[in-house]
Amino acid sequence: MFLLLLLLLLLVALLKFVYSIIWVPWKIEKHFQKQGVGGPGYRPIFFGNTAEIRRMFDEVKSKSTLVDSDIVESAAPFYHRWSRMYGDTFLFWFGPTPRLAITDPEMIKEVLTNTSGSITKIGFTPSTRELFGEGVVGLEGETWALHRRITSQAFHMERVKGLVPDMVASVLKSFEKWESIRERRDEFEMDVHKELHELSADLISRTAFGSSFEEGKRIFSLQEEQMVHYSKGSRTVYIPGLRLLPTKGNRERRRLEKETRESVRRLIMTNSKTRDNSRNLLTILMSSFKNQEGVEEELEVEEIIAECKTFYFAGKETTANVLTWTLLLLAQHEEWQNKAREEVFRVCGPNGLPNAENLNSLKI
């Protein structure tokens, strides 16, 4: 009897495996093929197209690091290759999960603005939840609405204008550091990407955490380390339970997560005692607001921690990367570099600084 039950359980498990790993992907692929949407094809044994994607990234890394105008080949080699083979719209697979690549502006607009509920956000895995936090960008429904009502308070125009002096101060501090590195030399080398990440961390920490910005920078440092561990596994298929194994990487990941959460909790406790700067993000996240029914709403501590994580990636990482790319493009196109410099001199004056009033006059 026990053996029969065991065989029955194994049979059920096998049928579920065949259904989810083979039958469902096959049906999805056929559905899109009928609409003229092709792709590299689903490979159940090799976790979809994951192995191919990893191989393409490895090929790009082995080539020259010189950047040309065709950045897509370096940033997303799988899209560069498959879009040329199958067209701008194609289907590929990350494990048994289908992903549809689209470029048509109207289709993209429909995805981003559709409110029917038929198009939903990609859910968090335990790894992405640890790294990004379950902040407003990944939430849905009433929980999303509550988080959005509270976090949007930080981005009112007048509040943002009040942060401009802090931003200018952070940039001037970086300029002084770079001048000390230059030591009056006409030519010198500096890791600009690293420096801009430090600038972004200082700027975001001041605006997000007020007088506790040094502790905020420590949180950013911890999350940078977490990002390294996440990146190593981001091109592999998520397998439930694998992250629970006591490997060296998993132990280090858990340590970083624990330290990050403890650091954010310390910031919350410090901020609740001082409330020294009503402009900073943390104070706003800790505040309560009345909804349309007049009911006071506020976030729990765990929700505040999640939003701080989200703010890190939405603010620091994107800002530093965009600034790095902007400087690279300006270096490659001196005519635009000259136009940008002339505009700054015209708007701010030869020795002036940007402020909340003249920022709108900078168009380039």
Backbone angle region of 133, left / alpha / beta, with phi > 0 → left and psi within -120 to 50 → alpha: left
Q: pLDDT of 3-46, one tens digit each?
A: 777 788 888 888 888 888 889 899 999 999 999 999 998 987 66
Question: pLDDT at position 154, please?
Answer: 77
Helix locations, 35-156, DSSP H: 50-62, 72-75, 77-86, 105-113, 126-132, 141-151
Tokens of 20: 């989810």
Which one, of 186, 231, 294, lies nearest residue 54 by Cα? 231
Stated pTM of the model: 0.72
Listed residue (346, 344, 363) closest to 168, CA to CA: 344
Question: Which parts of the chain sit beneath pLDDT 70?
Answer: 45-46, 64-70, 117, 123, 125-127, 130-133, 210-213, 215, 229-245, 273-279
In 3-state terms, what secondary structure has residue 336? helix
d(CA 41, CA 240): 24
User: Please, are residues 204 and 317 in contact by the beta-carbon 8 Å criterion?
Assistant: no
